[in-house]
């Protein structure tokens, strides 16, 4: 069973929409090591386009992004029939209650504030969400 | 028309300055007019201060902008002063009319008095507004800077974690220690930034309280568990003695947690070697009474009145602990007071301190 789960992991793709290069590299590397295929997008517009083209199994989304902010990306993904069922984890530094509520109302699966989670914990959440 | 004027002339023969006769009945109206002009000047002054009249007139909104109560708001002050000016102009008119016989002189005095009052009012209001604006900008600055610091700090934290995990390359034993130092320091910075953000939220009146039913006892137990490592490292024993059958309270658990954790961490940090911390929780006159008693260094008497001020750190605290921003108690006080509770302490240098707070049970 474990072997099979690992095999499925290899095929699973994660779209990582994040403008901070450091995070792209660190979290991207950890996820690749875990056997996921990681697609990087450095701004909201590319993120949305990638989501439509590649139809990933999970989207990691920052909220403060150039060109199109995370809320808009989230809204547009949820409006698109073809990709609206992809689970989205919001990974951001915004920790205002309004922001959290807004993102969850728009359909985010989980909301993680970067400062409050360690790399391991984030990884756990991603695994849990992608296997659901 | 002419007949009437002559009749009045016989009743009140003019002294001093002789006005054309038919002006006389209009003088009170003239004075009223100057009052009206005075009022208009007061109004245009508002336009001068803020470009949007409506926004300026919305006193409550303005006060929220400065996060001041209505009474302390410059706009409210200006409104009150406007009313004072009108009232005092009317008074001057009434008194002047009685004792000074020349109506023109009365009018001049009324105008002079109202102009002087207007200048005073405008000056005071302007300086108050500058003060409020400076304060607002300072809070906003702290908030922006803290937000900007947040992302590099969390990046740093994750990179260090990645390095420590050995997933990039194997870590030598000697490196581990330095990585741990890096991690600790980045955590400290992160906590400081969090505290600054909380303070700026408090100052801008944007600290949201998400009220929900909370078991205070469970919350305290959870916090004690989280500070276990710190307590062990400091060789301090933490005791918790809650009373039985405590009611739940309606409160924001995360904010309450912040206040209690700040108090407990202080008690542990400033405890003397082999110290102990006693935590009590009971019901007292329809309020929940919480106290933390430590056997620590205590607070010198001369520092006691400043202890809840922002960034204040007592001399003996600085000697013992280089860590600490001087924000914890300020935050705790703001949160407790905003929730309708009271906070206080007793302390003796070298004997220890007891910090307590009450919370209403609703």
For each of the domains in chain A, give its residue range(s) and CATH number, in order of start: 2-131 (3.40.50.2300)
Residue A116: per-residue pLDDT: 81
Summarize the confidence of residues B284-304 as an average pLDDT: 86
Q: Which residue of A has its CA nearest to B194?
A: A115
**Is A128 a residue whose pLDDT tops 80?**
yes
**Is B102 a residue whose pLDDT tops 70?**
yes
Are B129 and B256 contained in the same domain? no
The helix, strand and coil proportions of chain A, stated in percent and rounded to the nearest 5, come to: 55, 15, 30
Task: Report the alpha-carbon distance of residue B51 to residue B71 in Å, rounded.
Answer: 23
Show which of B139, B157, B188 is a domain's final residue.
B139
Question: Is the Cβ pair B155, A33 closer than 8 Å?
Answer: no
Question: Is the Cβ pair A120, B210 closer than 8 Å?
Answer: no
Task: Report the alpha-carbon distance of residue A125 to residue B6 in Å, rounded.
Answer: 98
Task: Report the alpha-carbon distance of residue B209 to residue B251 in Å, rounded.
Answer: 8
Are B331 and B267 contained in the same domain? yes
d(CA B324, nearest CA chain A) in Å: 19
Are B52 and B163 contained in the same domain? no
Chain A contact probe: residue of B144, B152, B158, B159 with most A CBs at under 10 A: B158
Are B96 and B216 contained in the same domain? no
Question: Is the Cβ pair A118, B161 closer than 8 Å?
Answer: yes
What CATH number is associated with residue B238?
A: 3.30.565.10
Mean per-residue pLDDT of chain B: 80
**Is A92 a residue whose pLDDT tops 60?**
yes
Are B338 and B218 contained in the same domain? yes
Show which of B84, B109, B139 is a domain's final residue.
B139
Residue B356: per-residue pLDDT: 92
How many domains, chain B? 3
- For the ranges A86-100, B5-19, B178-192, B308-322, the lowest mean pLDDT is seen at B5-19
Question: Is the Cβ pair A22, B161 closer than 8 Å?
Answer: no
Summarize the confidence of residues B67-80 as an average pLDDT: 74
Show which of B114, B139, B164 is a domain's final residue.
B139
Are B175 and B232 contained in the same domain? no
Task: Report the alpha-carbon distance of residue B181 to residue B196 in Å, rounded.
Answer: 23
Q: Which residues of B touch A21 (CB under 8 A)?
A: none
Nearest to B158 among A23, A33, A97 (CB): A23
Host domain of residue B83: 2-139
Q: Which residues contact B313 (CB under 8 A, 6 or more apart)?
A: B324, B326
Q: How many helices (H) and strands (E) does chain A have?
A: 6, 5
Kindly report, residue by residue over B111-166, the tens digit of the pLDDT.
888 888 888 888 888 888 888 888 888 878 887 888 788 888 888 888 998 888 88
Are B226 and B198 contained in the same domain? no
Q: What's the half-sphere exposure (Cβ side, CA atoms, 13 Å) at B140?
A: 9
**Is B12 a residue whose pLDDT tops 60?**
no
Enclosing H/E stretch for A14: strand A13-17
Are B242 and B307 contained in the same domain? yes
- State the pLDDT confidence band at B39, using cuts at 50, 70 and 90: confident
Are B123 and B157 contained in the same domain? no
Are B83 and B37 contained in the same domain? yes
**Is A9 a residue whose pLDDT tops 60?**
no
Q: Which residues of B touch A23 (CB under 8 A)?
A: 155, 158
Chain A contact probe: residue of B143, B149, B161 with most A CBs at under 10 A: B161
Share of chain A above pLDDT 70, in %: 92
Q: Is residue B182 packed enough to be buried (19+ CB in 10 Å), middle (13-18) or exposed (0-12)? A: middle
- State the pLDDT confidence band at A4, using cuts at 50, 70 and 90: low
Residue B4: per-residue pLDDT: 47
Nearest to A26 among B153, B158, B190 (CB): B158
Q: In this predicted complex, what is the ipTM? A: 0.78
Are B177 and B262 contained in the same domain? no
Q: pTM here?
A: 0.65
d(CA A28, nearest CA chain B) in Å: 11
Nearest to B272, CA basis, from B302, B237, B305, B304: B237
Are B274 and B171 contained in the same domain? no
Question: Angle A56-A60-A63 (CA atoms, 0-180°, nearest 5)?
Answer: 130
Where are the extended beta strands (E) located within chain B? 212-214, 237-242, 249-251, 276-284, 287-294, 342-348, 352-360
d(CA A76, nearest CA chain B) in Å: 25
């Amino acid at each position: 069973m474990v072997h099979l789960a690992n095999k499925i992991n290899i095929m699973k793709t994660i779209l990582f929409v994040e403008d901070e290069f450091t995070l792209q590299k660190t979290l991207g590397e950890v996820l690749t090591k875990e056997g996921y295929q990681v697609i990087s997008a450095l701004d909201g517009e590319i993120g949305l386009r990638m989501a439509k083209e590649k139809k990933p199994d999970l989207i990691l989304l920052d909220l403060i992004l150039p060109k199109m902010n995370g809320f808009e990306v989230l809204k547009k993904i949820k409006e698109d029939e073809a990709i609206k069922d992809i689970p989205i984890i919001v990974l951001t530094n915004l920790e205002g209650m309004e922001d959290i509520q807004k993102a969850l109302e728009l359909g985010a699966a989980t909301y993680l504030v970067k400062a409050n989670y360690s790399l391991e914990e984030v990884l756990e959440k991603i695994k849990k969400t992608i296997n659901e | 028309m002419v007949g009437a004027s002559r009749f009045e002339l016989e009743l009140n023969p003019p002294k001093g300055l002789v006005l054309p006769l038919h002006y006389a009945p209009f003088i009170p109206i003239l004075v009223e007019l100057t009052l009206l002009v005075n009022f208009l000047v007061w109004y245009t002054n508002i336009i001068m201060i803020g470009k949007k009249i409506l926004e300026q007139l919305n006193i409550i909104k303005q006060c929220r902008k400065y996060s001041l109560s209505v009474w302390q708001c410059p706009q409210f002050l200006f409104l009150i002063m406007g009313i004072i000016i009108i009232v005092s102009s009317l008074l001057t008119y009434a008194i002047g009319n009685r004792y000074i016989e020349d109506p023109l002189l009365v009018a001049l005095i009324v105008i002079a008095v109202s102009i002087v009052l207007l200048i005073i009012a405008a000056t005071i209001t302007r300086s108050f507004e500058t003060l409020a604006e400076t304060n607002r900008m300072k809070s906003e600055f702290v908030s922006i800077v803290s937000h900007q610091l947040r992302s590099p700090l969390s990046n740093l934290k994750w990179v260090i974690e990645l390095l420590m995990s050995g997933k990039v390359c194997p870590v030598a034993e000697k490196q581990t220690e330095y990585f741990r130092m890096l991690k600790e320091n980045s955590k400290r910075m992160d906590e400081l930034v969090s505290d600054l953000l909380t303070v700026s939220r408090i100052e801008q009146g944007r600290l949201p309280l998400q009220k929900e039913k909370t078991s205070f006892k469970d919350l305290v137990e959870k916090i004690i568990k989280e500070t276990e490592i710190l307590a062990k490292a400091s060789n301090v024993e933490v005791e918790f003695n809650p009373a039985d059958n405590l009611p739940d309270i309606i409160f924001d658990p995360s904010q309450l947690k912040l206040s209690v954790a700040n108090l407990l961490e202080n008690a542990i940090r400033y405890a003397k070697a082999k110290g102990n911390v006693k935590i009590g929780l009971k019901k007292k006159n329809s309020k929940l009474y919480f106290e933390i008693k430590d056997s620590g260094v205590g607070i010198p008497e001369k520092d006691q009145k400043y202890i809840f001020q922002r960034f204040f750190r007592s001399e003996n605290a600085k000697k013992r602990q280089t860590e600490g921003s001087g924000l914890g108690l300020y935050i705790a006080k703001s949160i407790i007071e905003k929730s309708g509770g009271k906070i206080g302490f007793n302390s003796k240098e070298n004997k220890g301190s007891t910090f307590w707070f009450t919370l209403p049970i609703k």
